[in-house]
Amino acid sequence: MSAADEALTLARRPALLATLTSLVCSPRFLVYCCCTLAALLTTWHLGKDMAWDTLDYHFYAGFSALHDRFGQDYFAAGPQSYLNPYIFVPFYLLVSSGLTALQVGLVLAAVQSVLLWLVYELALAVALPAKTAVRLALALCAVTLALANPVLIGQLGSSFADVLTAEIVLAGWLLLVLAARAPSAMRVACAALLLGCASALKLTNGLHAASAGVMVLLIPGNWRSRLRYATLFVLAGVAGFAVIAAPWSIRLEQHFGNPFFPLFNGIFRSPQFTTARIIQYRFIPPSFTAGLLRPFAMVTPRNMVHVEQAAPDLRYALLLAAAVLAAVVWSWRQWQGKASRPEKAIRDDSGRLLAVLGAAFLVDWILWLTASGNSRYFIPMACVAAVLAVALIFRCCSPWPKARNYLLLAVFVVQFYQLHYGTQYQSLPWDDHQPWFQVSLPKTLAAEPALYLSIGIQSDSFIAPSLAPASGFINLEADYTLGPDGANGKRIEALIKRYSPNLRMLIRDERRDAGYDTDLPSMSNAIDALEPFGLQLDTGHCARIIVHGVSSPMLGTTTGRAPRTPSAAQMNVGYFITCRVVAGMARDPVLHTAESAANLVFDRLEDACPLLFQPRRPATFLMGDEAHGYVWARQYPNTDIFALLARGRLQFQPFLRQAGYAGQQSDWEKAPLRLSCGRGADGFFLHITDPR
């Protein structure tokens, strides 16, 4: 190196050092680091999230995205088996990499913390032009309020993909807000691409993409420029959706004739799934009044309001109050005429951006309540709500900074109090140096491919990757029951012939006690599920599968012994029984007759009250045994209701509620009964009005 080159290198070093120092000391870098640190500490403190969906389909989805399972599995994780699985690949790879559960959780939390970075940028974009300290305070308050989301906190470091796709959605909304401030075709196109990709990865994000169109229509300019932006937005959004969705949709089209299977089957009409509309009513408000009151209902620490567990959230009620206050303050200022023209000219841009963002959020809120009302699907808009609420409070209270500070302090105290005392978290303690879960199989199961049949709404498909290569997996009774007839029956029959005689049944042993290794749990429901397919259990050839790192619900046993109180170690272990399946005898003619009678009753019940029992005509399945009594059942996933027919009585069982009486079987067999049924403030109801 020459002397001149050495001198130039020495001269550049201070400049590079100064740049790095400026970056590290900048507010943005410090805020980003604090956001990530907060996410990591929250994940470490709460423990490992062991959600129902993780075992049901999240892990299997990532596995199926990287391995072609169409030829050997069938509804392995229920209908969710065929949703776009690519967003679950990171979780599957991390869990399969050999990292400990804590390491996996922290990696996921670090990536998920990017959502808070975007909240910070969005808050700065709509902040009032003011002193740097005020703008920074506004953005920090917005980030804090966005983090104080019980649903978001529950998903940090977990297998849920909602936070990851929320980052893509929020990035798209941020670009559109910037485009509304300074029109740019590039920003509109990039935003549309992001929103299209997010919608392909998780179709519920399509609502956020549609709502974002409001911001496109409000970009400054004449109608021609807005039309060009809208056209560009639609085309780029479709392109982004197609790029991500096409690989999986092509496979679905090849196997089911529906590129979005099982969704939109009313259009594509695949014979493997119902053609009825699929919509989950669990969190949709039952009336217009209930929809208006939803922001206040979400403040209360109650179950089944906007997610299954208690997750009180005051931010939406705060946003509504802040919007009303802003309207009052604006009207008062207009009436007083105190705003000078120069100040008004400065404030118009930020006020307009806030209005644009608020209009898009309002449309999204309405669409969301109509489509699902599930806050897991609303995480990006929950962040937008935090930004809007804080920005409005800063705007309304700008003449009174002390009042603003006290108000925000009160909000944070109440919300964090609710997070600590009112929120239910579903998590397990981090097990040092242990993987997320560890499946222990007998050597024969790990070496011999077989077709595994399972039953239950929770499919336990997470075990499939641990089975012998080339093994198959079918869940017969998940959210959608697979019967022996029609296209589903033919596909199951073909798989049974292909794998015979290597057929096995997988059963969850919910007794949660390793001491029960000398006997078997109740097998009656498994026997009933196999019988329509001409199969039966060989209980003389069973094996036990032990899974460390999962929990099981505490249920009573059926062996006559009192259940033991599980230890801490037992709480973190799941047990499964797998038994050989062999050809069975022909179905008892008595059961054939009983099933025909049950189908008649269920069909008439569905016709008498189509609002409660949808989608119509699901497959009927059998539970119980001759000694304790048989129960015929149908499941209606739209409304979370079971129809049950036992001992001559027809009942309906809503989700997490007591069963209701729907009449005598003999009366329904004679003629349909007249019913009064519907959905009220306390859920679905059914009353018999027939004088019989």
- Please count the other Cβ atoms lying within 10 Å of the Cβ belonging to residue 557: 18
- Say whether pLDDT at 342 is over 60: no
Q: What is the pLDDT, as a whole number, of residue 129?
A: 78
Rounded average pLDDT over 404-415: 92
Q: How confident is the model at residue 563 (pLDDT cuts 50, 70, 90)?
A: very low
Q: Which range has the worst mean pLDDT, 6-10, 161-165, 251-255, 469-473?
A: 6-10
Query: Phi/psi at 632 (nearest 5 deg)?
Result: -90, 140
Q: What is the pLDDT, as a whole number, of residue 21?
A: 65
- Say whether pLDDT at 346 is over 50: no
Q: What is the pLDDT, as a whole number, of residue 345?
A: 41
Q: Which range has the worst mean pLDDT, 51-60, 105-114, 208-217, 226-235?
A: 51-60
- Say whether pLDDT at 10 is over 60: no
Rounded average pLDDT over 47-61: 89
Q: Higher model confidence: residue 585 or residue 652?
A: 652
Q: What is the pLDDT, as a whole number, of residue 564?
A: 44
**Domain spans of the chain, in order of start:** 26-427, 438-475+483-556+567-587, 590-688
Q: How confident is the model at residue 516 (pLDDT cuts 50, 70, 90)?
A: low
What CA–CA distance (Å, rounded) separates 417 from 414? 5
Q: How confident is the model at residue 337 (pLDDT cuts 50, 70, 90)?
A: low
Q: How confident is the model at residue 569 (pLDDT cuts 50, 70, 90)?
A: low
Rounded average pLDDT over 146-160: 94
Query: Phi/psi at 13 (nearest 5 deg)?
Result: -60, -45
pTM for this prediction: 0.90
What CA–CA distance (Å, rounded) separates 585 from 533? 10
What CA–CA distance (Å, rounded) separates 555 from 558? 10
Shortest CA distance to 438 belongs to which of 570, 572, 579?
572
Q: What is the pLDDT of residues 282-302, one digit of tens each?
A: 999 999 999 999 999 999 999
Query: 């005392």: which residue's tokens?
Result: 421
Angle at 79 between CA 602 and CA 156, to 5 degrees: 125
* Percent of the chain's residues with pLDDT above 90: 64
Q: Which range has the worst mean pLDDT, 88-102, 231-245, 380-394, 423-437?
A: 423-437
- Say whether pLDDT at 558 is over 60: no
- Say whether pLDDT at 518 is over 60: no
- Say whether pLDDT at 49 is over 90: no
- Say whether pLDDT at 468 is over 50: yes
Q: Which two tokens stand for residue 85?
A: 């699985």
Q: What is the pLDDT of residues 424-452, one digit of tens each?
A: 887 778 877 889 989 999 988 988 999 99
- H or E segment at 374? none
Rounded average pLDDT over 623-635: 87
Q: What is the pLDDT, as a whole number, of residue 553?
A: 47
Shortest CA distance to 213 belongs to which of 201, 238, 230?
230
Q: How confident is the model at residue 15 (pLDDT cuts 50, 70, 90)?
A: low
Rounded average pLDDT over 497-523: 78
Q: How confident is the model at residue 7 (pLDDT cuts 50, 70, 90)?
A: low
- Say whether pLDDT at 348 is over 90: no
Q: What is the pLDDT, as a whole number, of residue 219?
A: 92
Shortest CA distance to 663 belongs to which of 676, 671, 651, 679?
651
- Say whether pLDDT at 347 is over 70: no
Q: What is the pLDDT, as a whole number, of residue 555?
A: 33
- H or E segment at 475? strand 472-477
Rounded average pLDDT over 82-95: 96
- Say whether pLDDT at 19 is over 90: no
Q: What is the pLDDT, as a whole number, of residue 18?
A: 62
Q: What is the pLDDT, as a whole number, of residue 515?
A: 53
Rounded to the nearest integer, the mean pLDDT of the chain is 88
Q: What is the pLDDT, as a whole number, of residue 378?
A: 96
- Say whether pLDDT at 4 is over 80: no
Angle at 256 between CA 254 and CA 258, to 5 degrees: 90
Q: How confident is the model at residue 561 (pLDDT cuts 50, 70, 90)?
A: very low
